[in-house]
């Protein structure tokens, strides 16, 4: 198969855009060249180039086909529109079965011609998140485009970007590219993808992002290991650095001893945010006085000058951090809390100072639930946002909470309070740990519940296309803390305690749509439904069936009770007895649905039953129902569901030998089935489970 190789060489592409641009190039080329593509294109991306390689057919063949037009008796305007659409005259049409028919003969086009025709429009309309113009042309690209390599089986596919009176910088396709900007800047000829990749490697360019990341990861790890150290994992930084260099060369530098007394998070954040350095640690987890950097050249001196230069830059950065740390420690945390009255949380939700008061109230209400001392929880809530006005967090917003914990500890706060302040933003994502102790969980719950109620109250709900305030993440964090900490609570109960405070804050500002206390119930219901929807998403990701989730949840909002019922239901449904009993339940449900439509619900105690099998079922129900009620009340759902197993034999014989709609017995038997369904529904809403 002919091989298509396309490379677009330009000035430095922002790291965060490269992979997405390669994928977009594959998508757009795949759509434009669909008639000749054989398999999917494979993209590559780097700091100065994006491209793809693909196998294509030699020609695009379109078979002969007929397209039916309007009826022969249709208005002349309809026929004229059909001919205009296809660019033909009446001579090209034939009459067949009462319709005008356009007969299209078979046609084909060479792959090179199709590529040359498609590429200019594709590049003019390429979807960069941001793009720029340069010179006098209207053509745009992420950075000035310098070369277009486009070859098909080693032969240039000729096309130019110029269109109309716009020369588009004279850019035309060719068979040349360039190597590393410093080591091998000269152009060279390309004949195939394998030769292209090998020649670039010889010229200090690795075209594959994954390979560059692997070289960085293994190289930094080897350098660290040689000194008895290990790399602090940071996949995001690794991906970014791999997109910043074409020829990665890992090196190690030193951190001044004076800087090592700074909190390790400060060291890591300063190195990561400002310089894209990798942090190292000792085997026992302590910060090491070394850092790793990745150069884009192989220096003649082995990197000595590069390391020295980067050490000087880092020394200055950490000196700034040292200044913020020393200055922040001079200010009491309570003084910072007072300054939060001047820090806006959200225009319609007031200041951080007002929010602190809400968090204190909610923390006190949650303390009995989490089993912590209320005074400790209130103190942690009081200090939780204090570091927002610190110099360090002003410089590194990523450290909010973390720095508050350090400052609280340094100023003599209880260690539990300091830890809670440090952890109250957790979990920050699906892989982040929840707070490690009860006060931290209390404040983290309060923080996220207040976010949800506040933003929902002012109409800032997540949509299908956006979640600017990360409310889905907040809801998922609440669920993880409840599940992992084993907290027994109803979501609506917690929310009902806090909704009036949120409403009062909004009314005080005159900024919200809520005007009456009864609006609290609507708000609580909306937020509770949102959180429970997130629970459904989590449970589906955990492998539970949607119908079993629906049956277990019903109208319940106690997360742990839902989980207990869910596990019991799954075991029940997967068992032989469960499948048989569920089938009988569905049969009873269908009979009742049909018969209830005729003369209303059949409630009440059944009368005198006489058939031996209906008596057996009645007796089984009499024995089972109180036991199920006891087990469900005690939330022993596995035991409750086990009780349903006692119904299998009497249910089988009942449906085999008893005619429910037999005259003279119909009402009593329908009441028996209604009681059966009601008793089984004590465990869960089995009607929602697919048989």
CA 42/CA 6 separation, integer angstroms: 11
Give residue limits of the domains in the chain.
3-60+110-202, 209-328, 337-543, 566-688
- Taking alpha carbons only, the member of 450, 493, 212 closest to residue 350 is 450
Closest CA to 527 of 555, 559, 569, 492: 492
Q: Give the range with max mean pLDDT: 90-99, 103-112, 509-518, 629-638.
A: 629-638
pLDDT-based confidence at residue 603 (cuts at 50, 70, 90) = low
What per-residue confidence (pLDDT) applies to 116? 95
Higher local confidence (pLDDT), 514 or 381: 381
Judge whether residue 514 has pLDDT over 60: no
Is the pLDDT at 186 greater than 50? The verdict is yes
Q: CA-to-CA distance for 606 and 129, rounded, in angstroms?
A: 70
Query: Looking at residue 597, what is its pLDDT?
Result: 83
For residue 605, the model assigns a pLDDT of 67
pLDDT-above-70 percentage for the chain: 97
Instruction: Give the percent of the chain with pLDDT over 90.
Output: 67
Considering only residues 407 and 663, tell me which one the structure prediction assigns the higher pLDDT.
407
The residue assigned the tokens 């890992």 is 250
> What pLDDT is recorded for position 553?
92
Q: What local confidence, expressed as pLDDT, does residue 206 receive?
A: 98
Tell me the pTM.
Answer: 0.80
Residue 510 has pLDDT above 70, yes or no: no
Examine the pLDDT at 517 and tell me if it is beyond 70: no
Q: Which two tokens stand for residue 30?
A: 């795949």
Average pLDDT, the chain: 91
Interstrand relation of 145-152 and 173-174 (parallel, antiparallel or unpaired): parallel
pLDDT, tens digit, 9 for 90 and up, residues 559-569: 999 999 999 99
Helix 546-553 with 559-574: angle, nearest 10 deg: 130
For 249-270, what is the mean pLDDT?
Answer: 95
pLDDT greater than 90 at residue 156: yes
pLDDT at 515 over 70: no
- Residues 189-217 have a mean pLDDT of 97
Q: What is the mean predicted confidence (pLDDT) over 640-649?
A: 88
CA distance 113 to 529: 56
Please tell me the distance from the alpha carbon of residue 37 to that of residue 648, in angstroms, as a whole number: 59
CATH 3.10.450 assigned to domain 566-688? The reply is no
The Cβ-side half-sphere exposure at 649, using a 13 Å CA radius, reads: 6
CA distances from 529 to 225, 451, 504, 523, 557 (A): 50, 15, 22, 10, 9
């Amino acid at each position: 198969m002919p091989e298509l190789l396309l490379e677009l060489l330009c000035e430095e592409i922002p790291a965060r855009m490269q992979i997405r641009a390669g994928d977009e190039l594959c998508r757009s080329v795949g759509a434009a060249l669909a008639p000749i593509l054989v398999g999917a294109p494979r993209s590559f991306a780097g700091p100065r180039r994006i491209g793809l390689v693909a196998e294509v057919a030699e020609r695009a063949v379109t078979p002969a086909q007929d397209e039916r037009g309007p009826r022969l008796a249709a208005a002349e305007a309809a026929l004229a529109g059909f001919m205009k659409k296809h660019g033909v005259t009446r001579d090209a049409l034939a009459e067949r079965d009462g319709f005008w028919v356009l007969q299209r003969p078979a046609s084909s086009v060479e792959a090179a011609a199709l590529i040359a025709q498609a590429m200019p429009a594709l590049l003019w309309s390429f979807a960069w998140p941001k793009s720029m113009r340069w010179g006098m042309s209207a053509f745009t690209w992420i950075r000035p485009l310098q070369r277009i390599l486009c070859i098909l089986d080693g032969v240039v596919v000729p096309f130019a970007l110029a269109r109309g009176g716009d020369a588009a910088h004279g850019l035309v396709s060719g068979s040349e590219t360039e190597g590393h900007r410093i080591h091998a800047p000269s152009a060279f000829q390309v004949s195939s993808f394998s030769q292209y990749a090998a020649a670039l490697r010889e010229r200090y360019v690795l075209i594959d992002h994954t390979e560059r990341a692997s070289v960085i990861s293994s190289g930094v790890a080897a350098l660290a290991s040689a000194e008895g150290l290990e790399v602090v994992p940071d996949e995001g930084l690794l991906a970014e650095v791999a997109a910043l260099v074409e020829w990665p060369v890992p090196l190690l530098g030193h951190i001044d001893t004076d800087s090592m007394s700074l909190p390790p998070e400060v060291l890591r954040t300063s190195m990561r945010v400002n310089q894209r350095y990798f942090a190292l640690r000792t085997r026992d987890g302590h910060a090491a006085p070394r850092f790793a950097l990745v150069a884009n050249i192989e220096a003649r001196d082995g990197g000595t000058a590069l390391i020295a230069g980067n050490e000087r830059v880092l020394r200055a950065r950490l000196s700034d951090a040292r200044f913020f740390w020393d200055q922040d420690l001079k200010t009491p945390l309570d003084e910072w809390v007072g300054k939060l009255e001047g820090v806006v949380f959200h225009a319609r939700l007031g200041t951080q100072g007002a929010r602190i008061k809400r968090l204190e109230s909610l923390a006190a209400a949650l303390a009995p639930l989490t089993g912590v001392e209320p005074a400790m929880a209130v103190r942690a809530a009081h200090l939780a946002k204090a570091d927002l006005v610190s110099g360090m967090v002003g410089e590194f917003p990523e450290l909010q909470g973390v720095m508050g914990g350090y400052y609280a500890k340094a100023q003599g706060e209880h260690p539990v309070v300091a830890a809670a302040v440090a952890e109250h933003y957790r979990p920050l994502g699906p892989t982040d740990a929840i707070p490690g102790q009860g006060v931290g969980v209390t404040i983290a719950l309060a923080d996220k519940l207040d976010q949800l109620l506040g933003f929902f109250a002012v109409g800032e709900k997540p949509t299908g296309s956006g979640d600017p305030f990360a409310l889905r993440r907040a809801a998922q964090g609440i669920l993880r803390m409840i599940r992992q900490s084993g907290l027994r609570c109803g979501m609506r109960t917690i929310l009902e305690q806090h909704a009036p405070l949120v409403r009062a804050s909004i009314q005080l500002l005159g900024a919200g749509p809520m005007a009456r206390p009864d609006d609290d119930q609507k708000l609580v219901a909306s937020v509770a439904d949102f959180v429970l929807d997130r629970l459904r998403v989590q449970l589906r990701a955990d492998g539970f069936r949607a119908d079993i989730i629906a049956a277990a949840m019903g109208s319940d909002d106690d997360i742990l009770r839902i989980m207990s019922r869910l596990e019991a239901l799954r075991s029940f449904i997967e068992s032989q007895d469960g499948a048989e009993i569920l089938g009988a339940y569905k049969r009873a449900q269908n009979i009742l649905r049909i018969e209830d439509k005729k003369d209303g619900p059949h409630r009440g105690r059944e009368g005198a039953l006489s058939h031996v099998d209906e008596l057996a079922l009645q007796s089984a129900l009499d024995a089972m129902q109180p036991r199920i009620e006891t087990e469900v009340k005690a939330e022993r759902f596995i035991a409750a569901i086990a009780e349903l197993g006692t119904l299998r034999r009497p249910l089988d014989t009942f449906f085999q030998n008893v005619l429910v709609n037999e005259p003279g017995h119909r009402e009593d038997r329908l009441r028996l089935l209604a009681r059966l369904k009601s008793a089984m529904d004590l465990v869960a809403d089995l009607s929602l489970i697919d048989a």
